[in-house]
Amino acid sequence: MTSLELSGLGKRYGLKTVLADVSHVFTPGLTLLTGPSGAGKSTLLRLIATAEKPGKGRITWNGSPDRTPLRQTLGYAPQAVDLPEDLTAREFALHIAALKGLDLAAADAQFGAITDAIGLHADINNRIASFSGGMRRRLIFAQAMLGEPRLLALDEPTAELDGETARKLGTLILERARDAIVIMTTHLADELAPHAVAMLRVENGALTAK
205: left (phi over 0), alpha (psi -120 to 50) or beta: left
Could you please report the per-residue DSSP string of 5-65?
A: EEEEEEEEETTEEEEEEEEEEE-SEEEEEE--TTSSHHHHHHHHTTSS--SEEEEEETTB-
Size of the site for ligand ATP (CB under 6 A): 10
Within 10 angstroms of residue 67's Cβ, the number of other Cβ atoms is 13
The verdict on 137 binding ligand ATP (CB under 6 A) reads: no
Answer for which of 9, 18, 93, 154 binds ligand ATP (CB under 6 A) is: 18
Which residue, 28 or 40, has its beta carbon nearer to ligand ATP?
A: 40
Which residue, 123 or 155, has its beta carbon nearer to ligand ATP?
A: 155
Near ligand ATP by CB under 6 A, which window of 33-41, 131-139, 159-167, 176-184? 33-41
Near ligand ATP by CB under 6 A, which window of 32-40, 93-101, 114-122, 146-154? 32-40
The verdict on 41 binding ligand ATP (CB under 6 A) reads: yes
The verdict on 43 binding ligand ATP (CB under 6 A) reads: yes
State the minimum distance, in angstroms, from the CB of residue 39 to ligand ATP: 4
The verdict on 54 binding ligand ATP (CB under 6 A) reads: no
Element (H, E) at 76: strand 74-77
The verdict on 42 binding ligand ATP (CB under 6 A) reads: yes
Within 10 angstroms of residue 200's Cβ, the number of other Cβ atoms is 20
Sheet containing strand 4-13, edge to edge, reads 16-26, 4-13, 56-61
The verdict on 158 binding ligand ATP (CB under 6 A) reads: no
CB-based contact 143:95 (threshold 8 Å): no
CB-based contact 151:73 (threshold 8 Å): yes
State the minimum distance, in angstroms, from the CB of residue 28 to ligand ATP: 24
- Which chain residues interact with ligand ATP by CB under 6 A? 13, 18, 35, 37-43
